[in-house]
A and B are shown apart, each in its own frame.
Chain A
Amino acid sequence: MLRVQNLQVRYGAIAAVKGISLTIERGTIATLLGTNGAGKTTTLRTISGLIKAAGGTIHFGDRDITNKPCHEIVAMGIAQAPEGRMIFSNLTVKENLRMGAYLRKDRAEIQRDLDFAFSIFPRLKERMKQPGGTLSGGEQQMLAISRALMARPGLLMLDEPSLGIAPILVKTIFDKIVEINRELGMTILLVEQNAHLALQIAHYAYVIETGQMVIEGKASEIAKNEDVRKAYLGET
């Protein structure tokens, strides 16, 4: 469904991503793992059009989306919950969700998706009329994920959903990600530093280091890999 080939991204003179290739199959959860500064967020933002690629191609379905403007990419069906949640803090929870469906016109369907979002995250329904900025970190992450879902995307990209969130809520959120994948058959690209959690729910995993792919494979196999265990799962 998504095919990234030899992607290169530069910030001025610095190469942040040096030729990454990855493929995501429809209906699966793929995870992109790596430490701080490995180029995970850069890769994700280049796919979504927020950052321009310096080389390589990105195909979504059979369309070339390399360096297309962001709003066109969203319209084609790629939505994201950005790193650090980036909630519209002065808009209410409901208005945030409506913004997620910004490019859609089908009112009845939008309402259905709103109901779905409230059904998986009942907490959001309780806080529907509250400004987004007053939510806790975990609630904001729920809102960020739901907001991305409101675009009714073909591919959902989640950028570090566990970042800065109470451990108890991290578990809930990861359970919900699995639920979204199963119930909607949603294809998901999960960018994470928390390799342990990500490998539990993902089908396929990519590990990058300083902008280069170091290893890829089925999540279950990556989880057993000696090097990965040492470097990312904190085992000696």
Chain B
Amino acid sequence: MKTYSSKLYLFVAILTSLLVSFFQDEINPYYFQIIIYIGINIILATSLNLINGFAGQFSLGHAGFMSLGAYTASLVSSTLHASSGNPVDILILPLALLLGGAVAALAGLLVGIPTLRLKGDYLAITTLGFGEIIRVVIQNLNFLGGARGFTGIPKLANFFWVFSVVSIVVFAISNLINSTYGKGFLAVRDDEIAAQAMGINTTKYKVIAFITGAFFAGIAGGLYAHFISYINPQQFSFIKSIEIVVMVIIGGMGSTVGVIIAAIVLTILPEALRGIAEYRMVIYSLMLVVIMISRPQGLFGKSFRLKELVAKFRRPPMSA
């Protein structure tokens, strides 16, 4: 019954995205752009949350996977778009996105198998290095535009595509985590040795988390490219990876709801602060510091339970 209702949610969400996309031209282009970025960031953050939050592997290479997806998808769609008429356009984007995701997932597998034996900081640095390698390689590939960037990507991504993918990612990851199979990710995170002792193939779990996370990051990259129609390697530097990691940490490692909210807030915040120009990044950074000091587990971290929060508001703690 539970899967039935969540499937219904998925259906409704996709249908809503479709309906909204008919009116997307009515929305102020600036706001619309922010909304699309929110969607893309939700995909990036929730998929990274699978790796960092649920499986407990600290990856700093998400922008690398994103760029692989972006470039692959752009290459596919530019090639197909040039040689075909409008009627098949609708099929070009999903194909390009899937191929982009697949290439990113393959890279996730290649990077994952040798590096996932590493833990914590070591894994973080390895994945960081991997992300930079991809960036530098792309910068030197002329057929991808090199440092000048890849131009003329057909502007195929719209509200429907972005938010359908958001719905699918959220649906897929929450279903995965709530299944007995998915609890294995949490077991690996909580205690790897104990998980092994229960008969869980921990390497397999970590690689699956890595591949799935990379796949969705690749798709997010593809959507991004097909929305702004121009990409260059600088957009996928490790700063972008850090941005996504911050969303996961602020939202609360391992909380899908928290990470979605953090992705929304942290996309809007820098824009909302534009009015105060030069203080913008200071305030943004300061907020991160304050949140980390006051809630180190993230806004919706581990210990977060909606019921407890409600109870807390209703009944202020007694002074002892």
Contact = CB atoms under 8 A, between A and B. Distances in A.
Nearest to A157: B197
A91 interface: yes
B197 A86 contact: yes
Contacts of A75: 199
Nearest to A88: B190
B194 interface: yes
Interface in B154-204: 180, 183-184, 186-187, 189-191, 193-201
A37 to B, nearest CB: 19
Contact of A88 (B187, B201, B254, B302): B187
A152 B197 CA distance: 13
Interface in B218-256: 254
Interface residues of A, number: 26
A89 interface: yes
A148 B197 CA distance: 9
A7 B195 CA distance: 25
A80 B200 contact: no
A211 interface: no
Interface residues of B, number: 19
Nearest to A96: B187
Contacts of B180: 98, 102
Contacts of B183: 91, 95, 98-99
Contacts of B197: 48, 50, 70, 74, 79-80, 82, 86, 148
Contacts of B186: 88, 90-91
B196 A71 contact: yes
A16 interface: no
A34 interface: no
B194 A82 contact: yes
B199 A103 contact: yes
Interface in A134-153: 147-148, 151
B50 to A, nearest CB: 15
A71 B187 contact: no
Contacts of A49: 196
Contacts of A100: 198
Contacts of B199: 70-71, 74-75, 102-103, 151
A87 interface: yes
A90 B190 CA distance: 7
A75 B302 CA distance: 31
B302 A90 contact: yes
Contacts of A82: 193-194, 197
B233 to A, nearest CB: 38
Interface in A26-49: 48-49
A69 B202 CA distance: 11
B198 A91 contact: no
A2 B200 CA distance: 22
Contacts of A151: 198-199
Nearest to A83: B193
Given A90-B189, A91-B186, A91-B187, 9 more contacts: A50-B193, A70-B199, A74-B198, A88-B195, A90-B254, A102-B180, A102-B198, A102-B200, A148-B197
Interface of B: 180, 183-184, 186-187, 189-191, 193-201, 254, 302
14 contacts: A48-B197, A50-B196, A69-B201, A74-B199, A75-B199, A80-B197, A86-B191, A90-B190, A90-B302, A99-B183, A99-B200, A102-B184, A103-B199, A151-B198
Closest 7 CB pairs of A and B: A74-B199, A86-B194, A88-B190, A103-B199, A71-B199, A70-B196, A86-B191
